[in-house]
Amino acid sequence: MTRMNVEIMYEEKPKLKDPIFIEGLPGVGNVGKLAAEHLLEEVGAKRFAVVFSKYFPPQVLVEDDGTIKLVRNELYYWKRDGGKGPDVILLVGDYQGLTPEGQYELADAIIELCADMGVKRIYTLGGFGVGKMVEEPRVLGAATTGELVEEMKESEVIFSRGEPGSGIVGASGLLLGLGHMKGIEAVCLMGETSGYFIDPSAARQLLIILSNLLDLKVDLSKLEEKADQIERITTKLQDIEKLEKEGGFEDLSYIG
Amino acid sequence: MTRMNVEIMYEEKPKLKDPIFIEGLPGVGNVGKLAAEHLLEEVGAKRFAVVFSKYFPPQVLVEDDGTIKLVRNELYYWKRDGGKGPDVILLVGDYQGLTPEGQYELADAIIELCADMGVKRIYTLGGFGVGKMVEEPRVLGAATTGELVEEMKESEVIFSRGEPGSGIVGASGLLLGLGHMKGIEAVCLMGETSGYFIDPSAARQLLIILSNLLDLKVDLSKLEEKADQIERITTKLQDIEKLEKEGGFEDLSYIG
Amino acid sequence: MTRMNVEIMYEEKPKLKDPIFIEGLPGVGNVGKLAAEHLLEEVGAKRFAVVFSKYFPPQVLVEDDGTIKLVRNELYYWKRDGGKGPDVILLVGDYQGLTPEGQYELADAIIELCADMGVKRIYTLGGFGVGKMVEEPRVLGAATTGELVEEMKESEVIFSRGEPGSGIVGASGLLLGLGHMKGIEAVCLMGETSGYFIDPSAARQLLIILSNLLDLKVDLSKLEEKADQIERITTKLQDIEKLEKEGGFEDLSYIG
Amino acid sequence: MTRMNVEIMYEEKPKLKDPIFIEGLPGVGNVGKLAAEHLLEEVGAKRFAVVFSKYFPPQVLVEDDGTIKLVRNELYYWKRDGGKGPDVILLVGDYQGLTPEGQYELADAIIELCADMGVKRIYTLGGFGVGKMVEEPRVLGAATTGELVEEMKESEVIFSRGEPGSGIVGASGLLLGLGHMKGIEAVCLMGETSGYFIDPSAARQLLIILSNLLDLKVDLSKLEEKADQIERITTKLQDIEKLEKEGGFEDLSYIG
């Protein structure tokens, strides 16, 4: 690393045609990260660049084989076979920037890369935390233009006045704001989630919508397995809570 | 956005004659913001520039139609008909800078704009929090020169020794300090407020003084409606409190 | 202000001969600030420069006459009559830098000024907080060289192993460290203080030592008045505390 | 100091042949610092550079003789007699950078120095905190390449999947991550420690492994003395805790 604030190190410079850019970094319920990483694995996308920054934590991760990995964001691409749809770029990673200034500089660097690579549209993937258990997660949207909002509504993305009331914080928001300033159209898709757990169930709903938008079939079985695991855990936790409320404290009185 | 810390993007470069600059950003009781935004709507000012900065939160707001807006400050102008008084520039926005350094850099950029546009006087609008309910809010002042202090006293602005004891923090203060260094005379007008609620009542008092200073008639009815709404809410809250103090705790004693 | 991080604005460029530089900024018990400001007033030093910085709070202070003052540090000089000793520069102010980086940059700018003005020695004035009431405050020292330590011992400055155990934080420390790197000899004089109150009594002790070092007579009566006031308040507080411990809680039992 | 963010001031520019670089800055249980400083003293390494930075605390330390020392990191070298092994560079100091950005910039500056001086391998020394008392501290490792992992395993460094689960934070991690990017192979050695105390016992285990790796004999008796002292203190504390658990609360019941 040089002493730059944000450094994108290219391993390859792929030539892509009018690519779609998809962001899935950590956030509420890790919904965006789960969805983007699942998509990445299912389509077999190829890494072409790594993003390092002094706005990430000063930390290396230790892999299972004992080797280290400096915390980072990674960029992947996926060339789709002739005519089936536009090529895809994916942004995934361990962290978002630690400070507001850092988040702006990171998003700025990514938007510059998008402009250089001729990106035609950005999808940012995130979670929409509602603070209570969600049976059937909706997928909410926000977009840079009114035309995009209409287009998304046709694909069953929900636009609900006052949701999210607090706006969209972090990369999923900034890439829309800064993208719009560079003339790149952009949509944020948010899977509804309690926000209490990582939420593969919300990620699954997100990917159903996104794969429709990309005219693409994605095997969701691995995400569904994870969702089932999380559901079993949360159901168990809810049962315990229920028990405690009904009679648990009386039962405990036998102990003493 | 380029990677500058503060960026002012012009939509138009209006030619104004000796304009008056008015700042009304969020602050104590949102008094300044309420007053400036009310004035802006009543006179039908026109936006000519938008301020973005990495010192604002990394956030987009979602409008009712589902489109997004990167958090920002905005600059408006209002050309007054021949001879009725000087033209006006208004600064409003969602946020002030998140850090002290950011606040300095933002205020510096605004003062530079003021110098470029030939601004002759700055009014910054704010709240003066007193930490208790206020029946008849005073409008307190502070200014860059003794002559200005005298001029303001003639317009019923109150200068009260030791108020505000802690000085003036944020844009409303810095624009005076930095403006003075550039030779621009500047006044801070502060509407007295509890600081517990947003306070349209203090904003109304502020606008009465300011419209006199600008030799201008402003319809205050919308602000007065808002003030009435807030008053109804706070009166209800005070009634509840009173009830609890008088008999509430005795009632509770029946439980145990 | 330009967009520099630290800006020293000169009102005059005095020519001084081998001047002594004295720093007295806010700190523990405001001992250094009290001492430096007292000295400044007694000798009638003249201001020649003002220091502004985005590392200070984004704040203006309001003077008694209603005019504002951007928070700042100020530099004064005092030319001593022929042969009675070296000229003196004094640094006083409202605040120190808010962040560690800011403190380094401010101290760096001051040391550069010292080098430019041919400063031969720096005295930094501070408090040494001991966390309990102090009957007869000692004046502790630290210095850039062993020779200076010896010289100070001759002037009744106390060097006590392990005091201060945590080192010296802020301008009083940095000006020694950074001064030493530029070849300027420097001493920190610390008045012992509880640290609970502003402490004119510790400041008085400090000035007795400092005026000896500068071969100078300073009228300390105003400081002594302030010290008496503070002593009366603290004695009263101690009496109340004592009362409460002896019988206060029993008295209160009559109420219930 | 100039106004650079990180400044390395050379006292000497030693010519070393394929040197090994060892980092031992403060961290968990101060294991790395204790080990590196012990090694430094035992081999009689010579200081050749000092690192100052505005990312360190704005503080000077006061030595026993009353002179001050600006907080810093220091670089030492040790030339080994003909053919007995590679020369060694040691990095020790009072502090690591206070902010994440500062840590990146400091590590970046050190890696640049390593590249300039032809460093062939880096060992970073740290503690691995387990949050409970440790009888026989293991020495865990992480490395930049799989070959290095294998080499370390042969020297009884333990690589344990999932340990440390949270990665390696600070200089001990960053020097691996940034070193790897510059093509310098690097290993982090972590002495297992409770993390509750400074831990000379973990430092001793670390040095046994490290001296084997460097083909070097180090007298560990001083470290062992310190370890014994700490052990006596912690044993006493555990005895007190045990007593309280067994009978302490019963004794207290007599009071009520």
pLDDT digits (tens, 9 = 90+) for B112-162: 999 999 999 999 999 999 988 888 999 999 999 999 999 999 999 999 998
Quick count: other Cβ atoms within 10 Å of Cβ B160?
12
Which residues, 6 or more positions from D195, have their beta carbon under 8 angstroms from its beta carbon?
Answer: D28, D29, D127, D129, D130, D131
A70 near D CB under 8 A: yes
Average pLDDT over every residue of B189-209: 95
pLDDT digits (tens, 9 = 90+) for A168-185: 999 999 999 999 999 999
B4 near A CB under 8 A: no
Residues lower than pLDDT 50 in chain D: 248-256
Average pLDDT over every residue of C96-113: 97
Poorest-confidence range of A234-238, B26-30, C185-189, D142-146?
A234-238
A146 near B CB under 8 A: yes
**Residues of chain B found within 8 Å of residue A170, distances taken between Cβ atoms:** 58-59
pLDDT value for C252 = 41
Burial A76-115 (b: 16+ CB within 10 A, else e): bbbbbeeeeebbbbbbbbbbbbbbbbbbbbbbbbbbbbbe
Pure H helices in chain C: 31-43, 100-116, 146-154, 171-181, 200-213, 221-243, 249-253
Inter-chain residue contact D100 with A54, CB threshold 8 Å: yes
Q: Indicate the pTM of the whole model.
A: 0.91
**Residues of chain D found within 8 Å of residue A56, distances taken between Cβ atoms:** 100
How far is the C-alpha of D41 from the C-alpha of D37, rounded, in Å? 6
Total H helices, total E strands in chain A: 7, 11
How far is the C-alpha of A185 from the C-alpha of A93, rounded, in Å? 23
pLDDT value for C3 = 58
pLDDT value for D233 = 86
**Residues of chain C found within 8 Å of residue D52, distances taken between Cβ atoms:** 181
Inter-chain residue contact D58 with C159, CB threshold 8 Å: no
Mutate to test the interface with D, among C5, C174, C178 (most CBs of D within 10 A): C174
Pairing of strands D185-193, D139-143: antiparallel
A142 near B CB under 8 A: yes
Rg (CA), chain B: 20
Whether the CB-CB separation of A141 and A189 falls below 8 Å is answered with: yes
Whether the CB-CB separation of A192 and A130 falls below 8 Å is answered with: yes
pLDDT value for D1 = 52
Given the structure tokens 């004064």, which residue do they identify? C76
Task: Return phi, psi of residue C139, to 5°.
Answer: -115, 110
Q: State the burial class of residue A254 (Cβ atoms within 10 Å of its Cβ: 0-12, 13-18, 19+).
A: exposed
Quick count: other Cβ atoms within 10 Å of Cβ C52?
21
pLDDT digits (tens, 9 = 90+) for C207-249: 999 999 999 999 999 999 998 998 888 888 878 877 777 654 4
Whether the CB-CB separation of D39 and D22 falls below 8 Å is answered with: yes
**Beta strand ranges found along chain A (DSSP E):** 6-10, 20-23, 46-53, 59-62, 68-70, 73-78, 88-93, 121-129, 139-143, 168-169, 185-193
How far is the C-alpha of D202 from the C-alpha of D193, rounded, in Å? 6
pLDDT digits (tens, 9 = 90+) for B73-103: 999 999 987 667 799 999 999 999 999 999 9
A69 near D CB under 8 A: yes
pLDDT value for B7 = 95
pLDDT digits (tens, 9 = 90+) for C128-161: 999 888 889 999 999 999 999 999 999 999 999 9
Inter-chain residue contact D180 with A68, CB threshold 8 Å: yes
pLDDT value for B133 = 87
Looking at per-residue pLDDT, the higher value among D162 and B50 belongs to B50
Chain A closest CA to D100's CA: distance in Å?
Answer: 6
Whether the CB-CB separation of B106 and B117 falls below 8 Å is answered with: no
Inter-chain residue contact C62 with B100, CB threshold 8 Å: no
pLDDT value for C165 = 83
Inter-chain residue contact D58 with C100, CB threshold 8 Å: yes
**Considering only CA atoms, which of B170, B167, B173, B197 is closest in space to residue B186?**
B173
How far is the C-alpha of A162 from the C-alpha of A140, rounded, in Å? 11
Among candidates B9, B55, B61 on the partner chain, residue whose Cβ is nearest the Cβ of A167: B61
**Beta strand ranges found along chain D (DSSP E):** 6-10, 20-24, 46-53, 59-62, 68-70, 73-78, 88-93, 121-129, 139-143, 168-169, 185-193
**Considering only CA atoms, which of A217, A157, A223 is closest in space to residue A192?**
A157
Chain A closest CA to D221's CA: distance in Å?
Answer: 32
Residues lower than pLDDT 70 in chain A: 1-3, 82-83, 246-256
B33: left (phi over 0), alpha (psi -120 to 50) or beta: alpha
Inter-chain residue contact B100 with C55, CB threshold 8 Å: yes
Whether the CB-CB separation of B181 and C70 falls below 8 Å is answered with: yes
D181 near A CB under 8 A: yes
How far is the C-alpha of D21 from the C-alpha of D130, rounded, in Å? 27
Pairing of strands A168-169, B59-62: antiparallel
Q: Which residues pair with D36 in a beta bridge?
A: none
Using CA of residue D129, residue D130, residue D136, residue D142, what is the dihedral sign?
A: negative
Tell me how far CA of residue C97 lies from CA of B137, B245, C73, C93, D60, in angstroms: 35, 46, 10, 11, 16
How far is the C-alpha of D89 from the C-alpha of B105, rounded, in Å? 42
pLDDT value for C69 = 97
Among candidates D143, D163, D170 on the partner chain, residue whose Cβ is nearest the Cβ of A68: D143
Q: Minimal Cα distance from B62: which residue of A?
A: A167
pLDDT value for C1 = 53
Residue B184: band (very low, low, confident or very high) from pLDDT cuts 50, 70, 90: very high
Q: Taking each helix axis from N to C terminus, what angle separates A221-243 and A200-213, rounded to the nearest 10 degrees?
A: 150
Q: Taking each helix axis from N to C terminus, what angle separates D221-243 and D31-43, rounded to the nearest 10 degrees?
A: 150
pLDDT at C40 over 50: yes
D58 near C CB under 8 A: yes
- Tell me the two tokens of residue D131: 């949050």
**Residues of chain C found within 8 Å of residue D102, distances taken between Cβ atoms:** 101
Q: Do chains C and D touch (3 or more CB pairs under 8 A)?
A: yes
How far is the C-alpha of A14 from the C-alpha of A117, rounded, in Å? 9
Mutate to test the interface with D, among C168, C184, C189, C190 (most CBs of D within 10 A): C168
Q: Do chains B and D touch (3 or more CB pairs under 8 A)?
A: no
Average pLDDT over every residue of C162-178: 93
D187 near A CB under 8 A: no
Inter-chain residue contact A146 with B67, CB threshold 8 Å: yes
Q: DSSP readout, B168-208? A: EESHHHHHHHHHHHTT-EEEEEEEEE-SSS--HHHHHHHHH
Pairing of strands B20-23, B121-129: parallel
Given the structure tokens 């850099």, which residue do they identify? B105
Rg (CA), chain D: 20
CA atoms within 13 A on the CB side of C19: 24
Q: Minimal Cα distance from C6: which residue of D?
A: D3
